[in-house]
Amino acid sequence: MTYKIVVIGGGNMARSLIGGLIADGMDSERLWVADPSTEQLRLLQELFGVRTTASNTDAARQADVLVLAVKPQVLRGVAREVAQVIQERRPLVISIAAGVRSADLNRWLGGGVSLVRTMPNTPALVKSSATVLYALPEVNSDQRSQAESIMRAVGLTLWVEEEVLMDSVTALSGSGPAYFFLVMEALERAAVAQGLPEGMSRLLTLQTALGAARMALESDENPSSLRARVTSRGGTTERAVDILENGRLIELFASAVNAARARSEELAILLGEE
């Protein structure tokens, strides 16, 4: 990468992205970070050797690619602050702010922006994110490749061509880690209730989740087929799965994802209001 990347916002997601980019061979001299916290900037400079500033506009003037990694509630203010610089410099803009629609962000930035909206998730902190991207028509093929390369530094990347699907992405992969953490929590509690030590219950739960995910990733079979293969007729797994199915687990997850998608739509409207 020979272009300059500026990240506005120095929180956990930004830190993960910067670490991933440097691990991929990005020269730290080509990375700028802007954040109002001097402590955050000091930490990022010590960890990665990146250039830092408290001024969003000064940082934006350096950008070939500008990554907006701030909280959705403050994105409008930040966007309007740097809008004039964006209009003058015309960088690729990548937003990782959850729930803010590209039309609203594009308007706050002055319009006609080469803008890619992304939805990473928290496993980006361990370089295992599932990130979905959506590009406005102004984004050319080279810029799409740039955006994908940058976000791939923290995990898997996929594209959608209709922005409306981003609400479903938010409900699935954006909120999804919490669903799996809840399942892990439930399994661990059940094991402890059966008499297993807490530490052993946690380790067995986590390793089982990791093993199941790896099997699913490395197999050509879908999860339903994999489940059938490990569920012997009349055995212990079948008895347990029957309990879950009779408890309407599949319908419960469908309701949960639908509720998350609906809330994502509501928040997008609220965040985009003038």
* Cβ atoms of residues 151 and 131 within 8 Å: yes
Residue ranges of domains in the chain, CATH in brackets: 5-163 (3.40.50.720), 174-268 (1.10.3730.10)
**Span 127-147, average pLDDT:** 96
pLDDT at 169 > cutoff 90: yes
Question: What are the backbone dihedrals phi and psi of residue 109, each rounded to the nearest 5 degrees, phi first?
Answer: -85, 0
pLDDT score, position 223: 94
Q: What is the largest CA-CA distance in the chain?
A: 69
User: pLDDT tier at 90 (50, 70, 90 boundaries)?
Assistant: very high
Task: Dump pLDDT digits (tens) for 21-78.
Answer: 999 999 999 999 999 999 999 999 999 999 999 999 999 999 999 999 999 999 999 9
pLDDT score, position 178: 97
User: pLDDT tier at 273 (50, 70, 90 boundaries)?
Assistant: confident
Task: Dump pLDDT digits (tens) for 226-269.
Answer: 999 999 999 999 999 999 999 999 999 999 999 999 999 999 99
pLDDT score, position 258: 97
State the Cα–Cα distance between residues 120 and 125, nearest whole angstrom.
Answer: 10
pLDDT score, position 2: 75
Task: Dump pLDDT digits (tens) for 211-221.
Answer: 999 999 999 99
> Mean pLDDT across the chain, nearest whole number?
95
pLDDT score, position 1: 59
> DSSP states of 121-145 as a string?
-GGGGGT-EEEEEEE-TT--HHHHH
State the Cα–Cα distance between residues 36 and 195, nearest whole angstrom.
Answer: 50
pLDDT at 171 > cutoff 70: yes
User: pLDDT tier at 274 (50, 70, 90 boundaries)?
Assistant: low
